[in-house]
Amino acid sequence: MLKSAYVEEVFTLRAGDRVELLGWVRNVRQHGKLVFLDLRDSTGVVQVTVKTGVADEEAVKTASTLGREASVKVVGRVVEDRRAPGGREILCERLEVVGRAYGEYPIKPGVGPRFLYDNRHLYLRSPKVSAIMKIRSAMVEAARRWFIEHGFTEIHCPTFITAAVEGGATLFEVNYFGRKAYLTQSVQFYQEAAIYGLEKVFSIQPSFRAEKSKTRRHLTEFWHIEAEMAFTELPELLETVEQLISYMVVETVEKRKREFTELGRRFNVEVVEPPFERIKYEEALNILESKGVTISWGEDLGADEERILTEQFDKPFFVTHYPKEAKAFYHMPDPSNPRVTLSADLLAPKGYGEIVGGGQRIHDYKLLIQRIEEENLNPQDYRWYLDLRKYGTIPHSGFGLGVERLLQWILNLRNIRSACLFPRTRQRIYP
């Protein structure tokens, strides 16, 4: 049952051309002996008119009994009709039911967001979700292309791990044949091992965080684009991140114009034109203070602080040199001021907040042990990670980018859930 045409082609074919379409019925309207079907496939919606004389009696009868979301095969001719959406419709000659719809379709106008997430397996048929997923696909594809063109090797890392990357508070524990294991928060440590053979690596895979708080931008499972580079210090890392983000966003907006329009979204690509401003943590605190927000030196920026800070910017910007206390143990202390680290977050403007986190790693063996102990962690748990510093250590840096965060920002989605096929949050693991 191969498709001979997609709905979008109807609008480029010549009037009079005959097509065979396969898709789902979004809506049925009957006017006497005339039945109108809205036929949907992955590329759009077209009106199909079924009437006696062109189709047989049986087809008209079948059409009038179709339930919403029944799947059908339609053979007919393309006709111009100014009254039809898009100026074209299909005059049906043959109608075949592929799969009936039993009972009333649960997704109806007026149902609330919670219901739509409970029925996400059906709501995925909506053109709105399809548009978001197409944009997401284009975004990830652009990232992969950028990395490959810049000499990175794609690697695939394990998900089961034995020690925390980003602190114990958000670890998901799993019973691994009687041993305690965790789901990874980031593949960073495996990437750090891989650069000794490959120098520049990237991964696109899920990360897991047992996020306790309910927010509009935290998932418990998210897709993480991460990269690690040998012989790289903080300034080169920031250039890499801004080039990548800029490329991903521009490519996506260009390639998925139609979907942006369908969603009623516009994104001005000048916003992601490099370079992005770099400010130090210290300056971020000063800006916050001028807005009446005081946080004590050493604390990380929370969601509220990020919102207020990013409202002062029109383009994404880096906050660098976070204090040791605010960051995981592996961050390289700044040699000129060891209270701070060579770390950086990229924050999206206008109230949005963090989309990338990364920085330069400690490559000195003794210093790394010292930092592990200062954080009251057990060096035994990080034995293989420490080994990397024992044999030909090198300065290196890397970052992680949340796919859903970037999508949420460029599409201005109220909740990060909308960026996922089946979101996973503290409250939701079904469907």
Answer yes or no whether residue 224 interacts with ligand NSS by CB under 6 A.
yes
List beta partners, residue 318. 278, 346
- Our CA angle for 61, 64, 68, nearest 5°, is 140
Q: How far is CA 119 from CA 67, 99, 108, 222, 404, in A?
A: 18, 20, 11, 20, 20
Of all residues in the shown chain, the one whose CB is closest to ligand NSS is: 357
Q: Give yes or no for a contact between 309 and 295, defined as CB atoms under 8 angstroms apart.
A: no
Choosing from 358, 360, 389, 411, the residue that interacts with ligand NSS (CB under 6 A) is 358
> Going by C-beta distance under 8 Å and a sequence separation of 6 or more, which residues neighbour residue 70?
24, 25, 97, 98, 99, 100, 101
Answer yes or no whether residue 165 interacts with ligand NSS by CB under 6 A.
yes
Answer yes or no whether residue 355 interacts with ligand NSS by CB under 6 A.
yes
> Going by C-beta distance under 8 Å and a sequence separation of 6 or more, which residues neighbour residue 216?
414, 415, 416
List beta partners, residue 22. 73
Choosing from 354, 370, 377, 395, the residue that interacts with ligand NSS (CB under 6 A) is 354
For ligand NSS, give the closer residue by CB, 355 or 411: 355
Answer yes or no whether residue 327 interacts with ligand NSS by CB under 6 A.
no
Q: How far is CA 8 from CA 19, 45, 216, 344, in A?
A: 12, 8, 34, 44
Answer yes or no whether residue 44 interacts with ligand NSS by CB under 6 A.
no
Answer yes or no whether residue 417 interacts with ligand NSS by CB under 6 A.
no
For ligand NSS, give the closer residue by CB, 363 or 405: 405
Choosing from 49, 186, 343, 418, the residue that interacts with ligand NSS (CB under 6 A) is 186
For ligand NSS, give the closer residue by CB, 285 or 328: 328
| Cβ at position 174, least distance to ligand NSS in Å | 18
Answer yes or no whether residue 371 interacts with ligand NSS by CB under 6 A.
no
Answer yes or no whether residue 166 interacts with ligand NSS by CB under 6 A.
yes
| Cβ at position 373, least distance to ligand NSS in Å | 20
| Cβ at position 380, least distance to ligand NSS in Å | 21
**Binding range to ligand NSS, per CB under 6 A, among 87-95, 118-126, 280-288, 397-405:** 397-405
Give dist(CA 17, CA 90) in Å, integer. 10
Give dist(CA 108, CA 116) in Å, integer. 10
Which run of H or E residues covers position 59? helix 57-65
Helix orientation angle between 303-310 and 281-290, rounded to the nearest 10 degrees: 80
In 3-state terms the chain splits into helix, strand, coil percentages (rounded to 5) of 35, 30, 35
Choosing from 316, 333, 398, 423, the residue that interacts with ligand NSS (CB under 6 A) is 398
| DSSP conformation class of 270 | G
Q: For residue 110, how many other CB atoms are within 10 A of its CB?
A: 5
Answer yes or no whether residue 331 interacts with ligand NSS by CB under 6 A.
no
HSE-up of 128 (CA within 13 Å, CB side)? 11
**Binding range to ligand NSS, per CB under 6 A, among 65-73, 140-148, 374-382, 392-400:** 392-400
Choosing from 70, 219, 368, 419, the residue that interacts with ligand NSS (CB under 6 A) is 219
Residue 404, judged by CB atoms within 10 A of its CB (0-12, 13-18, 19+), counts as buried
**Binding range to ligand NSS, per CB under 6 A, among 65-73, 91-99, 149-157, 348-356:** 348-356
For ligand NSS, give the closer residue by CB, 66 or 356: 356
Choosing from 40, 136, 200, 209, the residue that interacts with ligand NSS (CB under 6 A) is 209
Binding interface with ligand NSS (CB under 6 A): 165-166, 185-186, 188, 209, 211, 218-219, 222, 224, 226, 354-358, 398-402, 404-405
